[in-house]
Amino acid sequence: MEAGAGQRQLSQGGTVQCPEGLVPEAESELFASLRRSGQRQKAEQYVKGLLETPGRKTLGHIAAHLGGPAAQQSMHHFISESLWEWTPVRHALARQARLLLGHDAWVVRPTAIPKAGAHSIGVDLQYVPHLKRAVNGQQAVGVWLASERAAVPVEWQLVLPRRWREESLRRRARVPDDVRADCLEECVREAMAQATQAAGVPSRPVIVDAEGADAVAIARHLGEAGHQFVIRTDPGTGLSVDRSVLPAYGARERAAGELVAHLGRMRAPVGPEPDRPVASVIPVEAPASPHGGALRGLRLIGEWSASDRGANRLWLTNTTGVSVSALLRLTRLSDLVARDAVDIGDRVGLRDFGGRSFSGWHRHVTLASIAHFATVLAAEPSSCAAAACQAA
């Protein structure tokens, strides 16, 4: 008898329900890199636990939901001690998310994860710009495949504060020697480098919405890697007008906020909507730094809503051949990611790992990202199932 649409036959006999929303073809692809059937079964069970366990999705709560003390020991080993690699699973997730949901842009956003204690990997007292205060917890950078339909996280990097880079804690958490991850900028660089290695996922603009990060440093990294980007920029970022385009203006470096405020004649409505925003587009360059020469070919975009006097947001971009209204629509995908990170991500436990293991954190957020994907698919099962069947 053939397994039903929501089931998959295991080599040991019996069936395991596909995690809610995943069709068998997608599930098979996601876990194909796990060589042993027992590992694939545990991955399916863990995702099922993330979807079904009430409350916080800690290892203990998931194990209790799945089967008690024996399950807890088994799950702890699978997440924190096992040797399976999370990168191939994330690449498979990116391919499936692209196939079933589409892909208008990569969206990169940091996530603050408050913690009560000091023992979880990466926890320290860290300043969170959007909260304007220091918070005891973790900071992670997520890369999301995003379209107007949905957003799915496909890559993660965890910021490692100084105390976690010291030899004693680094060794106890089993942080690999080649992992730096000492700041948001480094995490953005590494996250995008990893995410874009997924075969079969075409290039798209990169939207970086990381308040407090060095936008110029990120622009250098992404530009050198060949990406088209739109990066949220602090009003204090030092830039100068590109005089090859606007020769009448001085070359003095100014703050980005000052440039958009003073060049008021460059503001114009964008988009066809009645309440369309106002934007100014200024050709700029970033000054030379110890890490490279002047960064040219950039545009600074300031945007205002109809009711605001000051610019709502500032963006730095190297895109060409794309209208300002289209770029601003892409930046709205960051708001979609922020919403889904709470509405779906918190529901499936993206921020709930409480262990000290560096690899455990990465395996947990990888499987929680799959649970997030399954939740998105469950909201539109018919079209997604049809797409999977066509691709099979």
Q: DSSP for 203-254?
A: ---EEE--TTS-HHHHHHHHHHTT--EEEE--TT-EEEE-TTT-TTS----E
Are 233 and 357 part of one and the same domain? no
Average pLDDT estimate for 98-112: 95
Return the pLDDT at 10: 31
Residue 222 maps to a domain = no
Residue 26 maps to a domain = yes
Are 207 and 259 part of one and the same domain? no
Are 44 and 179 part of one and the same domain? yes
CA distances from 227 to 91, 233, 266, 296, 320 (A): 18, 17, 27, 15, 12
Are 119 and 74 part of one and the same domain? yes
Residue 7, pLDDT above cutoff 50: no
Are 242 and 149 part of one and the same domain? no
Are 115 and 192 part of one and the same domain? yes
Are 210 and 233 part of one and the same domain? no
Are 80 and 189 part of one and the same domain? yes
pLDDT grade for 307, boundaries at 50, 70 and 90: low
Return the pLDDT at 374: 95
Are 204 and 252 part of one and the same domain? no
Percent of the chain whose predicted confidence (pLDDT) is above 70 = 90
Domain that holds residue 209: 7-215+337-391
Are 202 and 342 part of one and the same domain? yes
Residue 267 maps to a domain = yes
- H helices of the chain, in order, are 24-30, 37-52, 59-66, 69-76, 87-101, 162-165, 167-172, 184-195, 215-224, 256-262, 324-331, 333-340, 358-378, 381-391
Instruction: Using the 3D structure, point to which of 254, 285, 318 is the last residue of a domain.
Output: 318
DSSP letters spanning 243-308: TTT-TTS----EEHHHHHHH-GGGEEE-SSSTT--EEEEEEEEEPPBTTBS-EEEEEEEEEE-TT-
Instruction: Using the 3D structure, point to which of 318, 353, 370 is the last residue of a domain.
Output: 318
pLDDT grade for 1, boundaries at 50, 70 and 90: very low
The reported pTM is 0.90
Are 88 and 193 part of one and the same domain? yes
Total domains in the chain come to 2
Instruction: Using the 3D structure, point to which of 318, 351, 383 is the last residue of a domain.
Output: 318
Residue 2 maps to a domain = no
HSE (side-chain half, CA atoms, 13 Å) at 377: 28
Are 235 and 108 part of one and the same domain? no
Residue 331 maps to a domain = no
Any long-range contacts for 47-54 (C-beta under 8 Å, 24+ apart)? 47/19, 47/22, 47/367, 47/370, 47/371, 47/374, 48/17, 48/19, 48/20, 49/75, 50/348, 50/349, 50/367, 50/368, 50/371, 51/19, 51/20, 51/348, 51/371, 51/374, 51/375, 53/349
Average pLDDT estimate for 367-389: 76
Average pLDDT estimate for 20-37: 88
Is-contact 14 22, C-beta < 8 A?
Answer: no
Residue 325 maps to a domain = no
Q: Which residue has the higher pLDDT, 207 or 1?
A: 207
Residue 164 maps to a domain = yes
DSSP state of 46: H
Residue 68 maps to a domain = yes
Segment 153-205, tens digit of pLDDT: 999 999 999 999 999 999 999 999 999 899 999 999 999 999 999 988 989 99
Average pLDDT estimate for 279-283: 94
Average pLDDT estimate for 291-319: 84
Residue 13, pLDDT above cutoff 60: no
